[in-house]
């Protein structure tokens, strides 16, 4: 990765990141009593454990409205730039991202928020750019959601303006289709000369093209049954970035259940994604994507099968199994994984004490 400060923390070929910990229930819609409540004290404990234990990054979710259900899944969420800034002050080594909805954050404000976080963290702040999809979140903010392609055109202007604010030392005008900014000044500059890590997880062609132009890392799904397919995707993405004169890595995302034995882990994951799932919340999420009881055949069957899919790629098993899966992902060229846990503080120690040493032994 062509980024000085990233290389400072770049001694792990396969990076581990915690995903979704700023949101209640993390990324698994569940009703378990031990589910993650995302209160501040627990977030600080999680970040300290992760920092001391060799986790590489923390990636929050930009979420403004919960999905309902008995737990109001992801209904309690910290805003991510301020959350990251607070946690950067408590940590020393890991990178913490802010997940920023470009259409909701005025670029002048966002540029300065990012610079502030970057100074607090001595260059450890990262930016995850999202363009948004969730209509009620936009309605709640009073901002109209643009057509899909236009969202990325806007994001293009947004990040380009922000980069100028980070870099230009003289006042400038920025007169584009969406943004018209005059006599712009911004001080202080970033913590160092290099850019903060910028990532994106668009699934569409325009999303991918945006990532190729602006991001140091891109997120995609891992295909365990067809590792070759994942490897080909990674190879193509990197070579397309190279064609644009850039260097970019590819990461994946998932959910980890690691227990001393494979049997315990499998039983817990099965329970989490069946009897302990918050189906009403998942029904709320599907409604946002216009998948409803009235327009979908076999809706109940669809809903029943959703919990394991909704958490992303499941990495379930003993420390040996989990390490093995990470090694397989690395063999496909992936540079790391952002994963969620049911309870980040309770479950991290086994990963730190048992999985990370296995990865080290494997040279990762
Ligand atoms: C790892 C990952 C993180 C994401 N984080 C968020 C988020 O925090 N907030 C959000 O609204 N969307 C998030 N998304 C959704 C993407 O930003 C994007 O909208 C989605 O993948 C659809 O892609 P498209 O915009 O190219 O259609 C995330 C997706 C992935 C895979």
User: What's the confidence (pLDDT) of residue 3?
Assistant: 53
- Using the mean position of ligand 1's atoms as its centre, give its distance from the Cα of residue 95 in Å: 19
58 touches 23 (CB < 8 A): no
Question: Is residue 129 included in any domain, yes or no?
Answer: yes
Question: Is residue 302 included in any domain, yes or no?
Answer: no
Secondary structure percentages of the chain, helix, strand, coil, to 5: 45, 15, 35
Question: Is residue 305 included in any domain, yes or no?
Answer: no
The protein residue with its alpha carbon nearest to ligand 1, atom 29, reads 201
Question: Is residue 317 included in any domain, yes or no?
Answer: yes
Kindly provide the b/e burial profile for residues 34-64, where b requires at least 16 CB atoms within 10 angstroms of the residue's own CB: ebbebeeebbbebbebbbeebbbbbbbbbbb
Question: Is residue 57 included in any domain, yes or no?
Answer: yes
User: What's the confidence (pLDDT) of residue 225?
Assistant: 83
User: What's the confidence (pLDDT) of residue 149?
Assistant: 86
User: What's the confidence (pLDDT) of residue 4?
Assistant: 58
Question: Is residue 291 included in any domain, yes or no?
Answer: no
Q: Among candidates 161, 44, 166, which has minimal Cα distance to 105? A: 161
Integer Cα distance of 288 and 136 in angstroms: 8
User: What's the confidence (pLDDT) of residue 238?
Assistant: 95
Convert the pLDDT of each residue in 143-189 to its tens digit. Answer: 999 999 899 999 999 999 999 999 999 999 999 999 999 999 999 99
What does each C-alpha distance from 251 to 189, 245, 335, 337 come to in angstroms? Answer: 29, 20, 5, 6
Convert the pLDDT of each residue in 11-61 to its tens digit. Answer: 789 999 999 999 999 999 999 999 999 999 999 999 999 999 999 999 999
pLDDT along the chain (364 residues), means of 10: 55 93 98 98 98 96 97 98 98 96 98 97 95 94 93 97 97 98 97 90 92 94 89 95 94 97 98 97 95 93 94 96 97 96 98 97 93
What CATH number does the domain containing 62 carry?
3.20.20.30
User: What's the confidence (pLDDT) of residue 188?
Assistant: 96
- Using the mean position of ligand 1's atoms as its centre, give its distance from the Cα of residue 148 in Å: 13
Integer Cα distance of 62 and 8 in angstroms: 27
Query: Any residues with Cβ below 6 Å from ligand 1, and which?
Result: 61-62, 99, 130-134, 201-204, 207, 219, 253, 338
Question: Is residue 191 included in any domain, yes or no?
Answer: yes
The protein residue with its alpha carbon nearest to ligand 1, atom 21, reads 202
- Using the mean position of ligand 1's atoms as its centre, give its distance from the Cα of residue 272 in Å: 23
**Inter-helix orientation angle 227-243/319-331, to 10°:** 50
Integer Cα distance of 139 and 116 in angstroms: 29
Q: Give the DSSP letter of residue 305.
A: T
- Using the mean position of ligand 1's atoms as its centre, give its distance from the Cα of residue 62 in Å: 9
Name the domain count of the chain. 1
The protein residue with its alpha carbon nearest to ligand 1, atom 11, reads 132
What are 68's two structure tokens?
A: 């309902």
- DSSP of 253-281, one letter per residue? EEEEEE-SSHHHHHHHHHHHTTTTB-HHH
Domain encompassing residue 245: 4-277+311-361
- Using the mean position of ligand 1's atoms as its centre, give its distance from the Cα of residue 188 in Å: 30
**Residue in 23, 133, 159, 206 to alter for ligand 1 test, most ligand atoms within 8 A of Cβ:** 133
What are 127's two structure tokens?
A: 């930016």
Largest separation between any pair of C-alpha atoms in the chain: 63
User: What's the confidence (pLDDT) of residue 6?
Assistant: 59
Question: Is residue 151 included in any domain, yes or no?
Answer: yes
Residues 6+ apart with CB under 8 A from 264: none
User: What's the confidence (pLDDT) of residue 7?
Assistant: 53
The protein residue with its alpha carbon nearest to ligand 1, atom 28, reads 201
- The pTM score is 0.96
User: What's the confidence (pLDDT) of residue 226?
Assistant: 86
């Amino acid at each position: 990765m062509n980024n000085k400060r990233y290389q400072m923390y770049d001694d792990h070929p396969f990076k581990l990141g915690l995903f979704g910990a700023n949101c209640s229930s993390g990324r698994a819609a569940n009703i378990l009593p031990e589910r993650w409540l995302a209160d501040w004290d627990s977030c600080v404990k999680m970040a300290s454990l992760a920092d001391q234990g060799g986790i590489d990054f923390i990636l929050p979710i930009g979420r403004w409205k919960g999905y309902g259900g008995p737990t109001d899944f992801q209904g309690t969420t910290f805003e991510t730039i301020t959350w990251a800034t607070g946690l950067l002050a408590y940590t020393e080594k890991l990178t913490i991202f802010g997940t920023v909805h470009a259409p909701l954050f005025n670029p002048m404000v966002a540029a300065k928020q990012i610079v502030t976080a970057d100074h607090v963290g001595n260059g450890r702040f990262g930016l995850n750019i999202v363009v948004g999809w969730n209509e009620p979140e936009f309605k709640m903010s009073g901002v109209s959601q643009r057509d899909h392609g236009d969202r990325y055109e806007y994001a293009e202007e947004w990040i380009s303006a922000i980069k100028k604010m980070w870099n230009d030392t003289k006042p400038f005008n920025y007169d584009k289709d969406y943004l018209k900014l005059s006599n712009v000044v911004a001080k202080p500059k970033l913590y160092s000369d290099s850019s903060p890590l910028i990532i994106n997880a668009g699934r569409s062609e325009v999303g991918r093209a945006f990532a190729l132009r602006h991001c140091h890392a891109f997120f995609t799904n891992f295909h365990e049954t067809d590792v070759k397919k994942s490897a080909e995707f990674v190879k193509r993405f990197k070579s397309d970035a190279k064609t644009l004169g850039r260097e970019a890595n590819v990461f994946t995302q998932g959910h980890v259940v690691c227990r001393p034995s494979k049997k315990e882990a499998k039983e817990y994951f099965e329970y989490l994604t069946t009897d302990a799932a918050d189906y009403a919340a998942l029904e709320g999420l599907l409604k946002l994507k216009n998948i409803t009881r009235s327009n979908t055949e076999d809706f109940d069957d669809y809903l029943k099968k959703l919990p394991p899919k909704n958490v992303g790629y499941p990495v379930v098993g003993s420390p040996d199994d989990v390490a093995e899966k990470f090694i397989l992902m690395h063999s496909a060229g992936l540079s790391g994984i952002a994963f969620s846990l049911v309870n980040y503080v309770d479950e991290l120690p086994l990963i730190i004490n048992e999985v990370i040493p296995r990865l080290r032994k494997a040279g990762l």
